[in-house]
């Protein structure tokens, strides 16, 4: 791999923002300085652009294997690269379910052949796969669906949850919704065709109850817990006063930016996701909690379904929406609107995911770190459109949204994989390492 020198760019460094140069050798950041000698085979002169660490998306559903018409590791990683994402963590509710060491190995093998960016795979918990959870290696964590979502993974009985928290060595990530409460609400609204009933079935009370239980189990067993896609004011307020050091959480851009009945009326079942989009008060509380550090990071929960599938009436349409390629432009737009800083964006989308999942040499522009990099133009503007999406399903809930701040080029382990609409498909990412 020939050395590459980024010359005269704005660098988002851990210690602050600097104008300068960054040298890449053998896939690593070899040197950073105000002005480095021009002794590289490739010199990138992109004055006016900003170089930041590659985004780590810790929550995607790339549907591979089993549902290639929705997304594959090839198509999902391509969408990721176009959005400045250089590493992703994929969830286990695929077909077959990723609940064994063999199914994890199968997904890694597919990714090694097809993924443009770096990858990791959660193992899914069931009531009866404890031995697999104990023996699996090099996964970011164990995913527990405390409430049923897309797919058939579910662990909702207290004794099963207790056994997993007590007896497994890995981080536990939870989809926190109380299954009994969800089913009871669903029975009351049986036959509804109003998608606004979705958040009335998957209520804030159901989310809060499950979150409280997960935190209690984490405290009891001193277990590293990550609460996925926080959605409610009630959960944010609970964690603001009761968040042990072993507990972290995430929020998705859609739960920050899409809210209210009018939004459901505009998007219909395109807005249907689990946990649901809610009233405006929740979005406001989640943003405050993210800014205050109660919520630790951004995750997209990229969960694609085709437009044909999503066009089914409420009650039959699947839950989920794509988002891996729109997250960084949306957050950079918020930065340009003065709602956060570029350092906030890097912390939420790069540095913190690497720290939460103990991924070494990722998430920051530091000498010796892997050269996972994104060149962004903070002033570039466009309107998000369905037809321009890279994801295989070709739609976004943010269709028609203007954004300001765009990824221009993405580098994975020092190799260019995306540049202004072009992809370098011969490049492949690597399996992420997770330090135990």
Q: Which residues are catalytic?
A: 301
Spatial CA neighbour of 207 closest among 184, 175, 244, 239? 175
Displacement of CA 377 from its chain's centroid (Å): 22
- Cβ neighbors of 64 (< 8 A, separation 6 or more) are 71, 72, 73, 74, 76, 94, 107, 110
Closest CA to 238 of 213, 208, 216: 208
- Do 402 and 412 meet the contact criterion of CB atoms below 8 Å apart? no
Q: Supply φ then ψ for residue 338, to 5 degrees.
A: 80, 15
Q: H-helix or E-strand containing 210?
A: helix 204-221
Beta bridge partners of 415: 412
Instruction: Print burial letters for 396-409: b (CB count within 10 Å at least 16), e (below 16).
Output: bbbbebebbbbbbb
Spatial CB neighbours of 56, under 8 Å, sequence gap ≥ 6: 85, 86, 87, 88, 89, 349, 350, 353, 354, 359, 362, 363
Residues 6+ apart with CB under 8 A from 337: none
Q: How many residues does the chain have?
A: 436
Neighbours of 293 (CB within 10 A): 11
Comparing C-alpha atoms, which of 108, 112, 225, 243 is closest to residue 161? 225
């Amino acid at each position: 791999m020939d050395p590459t020198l980024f010359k005269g760019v704005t660098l988002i460094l851990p210690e602050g923002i600097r104008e300068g140069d960054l040298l890449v050798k053998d896939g690593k950041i070899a040197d950073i300085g105000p002005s480095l000698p021009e002794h590289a085979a490739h010199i990138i002169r992109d004055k006016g652009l900003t170089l930041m660490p590659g985004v780590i998306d810790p929550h995607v559903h790339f549907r591979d294997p089993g549902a290639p018409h929705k997304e594959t590791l090839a198509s999902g990683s391509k969408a990721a690269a176009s959005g400045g994402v250089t590493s992703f963590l994929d969830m286990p509710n695929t077909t077959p379910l990723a609940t064994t060491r063999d199914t994890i190995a199968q997904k890694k093998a597919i990714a090694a052949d097809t993924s443009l960016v770096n990858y990791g795979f959660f193992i899914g918990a069931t009531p009866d796969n404890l031995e697999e959870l104990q023996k699996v290696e090099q996964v970011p964590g164990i995913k527990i669906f405390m409430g049923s979502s897309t797919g058939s993974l579910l662990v909702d009985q207290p004794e099963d949850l207790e056994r997993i928290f007590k007896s497994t060595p890995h981080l536990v990530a939870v989809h926190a919704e109380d299954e009994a409460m969800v089913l009871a609400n669903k029975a009351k609204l049986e036959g509804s065709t109003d998608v606004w009933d979705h958040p009335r079935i998957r209520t804030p009370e159901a989310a809060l109850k499950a979150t409280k239980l997960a935190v209690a189990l984490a405290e009891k067993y001193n277990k590293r817990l990550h609460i996925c896609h926080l959605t409610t004011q009630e959960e944010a307020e609970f964690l603001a006063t009761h968040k042990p050091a072993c507990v972290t959480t995430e929020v998705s851009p859609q739960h920050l930016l899409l809210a209210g009945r009018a939004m459901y009326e505009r998007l219909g079942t395109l807005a249907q996701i689990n946990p649901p989009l809610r009233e405006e008060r929740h979005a406001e509380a989640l943003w405050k909690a993210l800014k205050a550090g109660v919520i630790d990071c951004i995750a997209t929960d990229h969960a694609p379904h085709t437009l044909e599938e999503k066009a089914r009436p409420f009650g039959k349409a699947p839950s989920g929406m794509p988002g891996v390629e729109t997250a960084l432009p949306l957050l950079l737009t918020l930065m340009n609107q003065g709602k956060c800083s570029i350092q906030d964006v890097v912390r939420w989308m790069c540095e913190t995911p690497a720290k939460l999942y103990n991924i070494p040499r990722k998430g920051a522009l530091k000498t010796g770190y892997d050269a996972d990099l994104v060149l962004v133009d903070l002033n570039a503007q466009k309107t998000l459109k369905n037809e321009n999406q890279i994801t295989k399903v070709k739609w976004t809930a943010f269709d028609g949204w203007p954004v300001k701040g765009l990824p221009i080029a993405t580098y994975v382990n020092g190799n260019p994989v995306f540049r202004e609409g072009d992809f370098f498909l011969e490049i492949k990412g690597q399996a992420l390492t997770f330090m135990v």
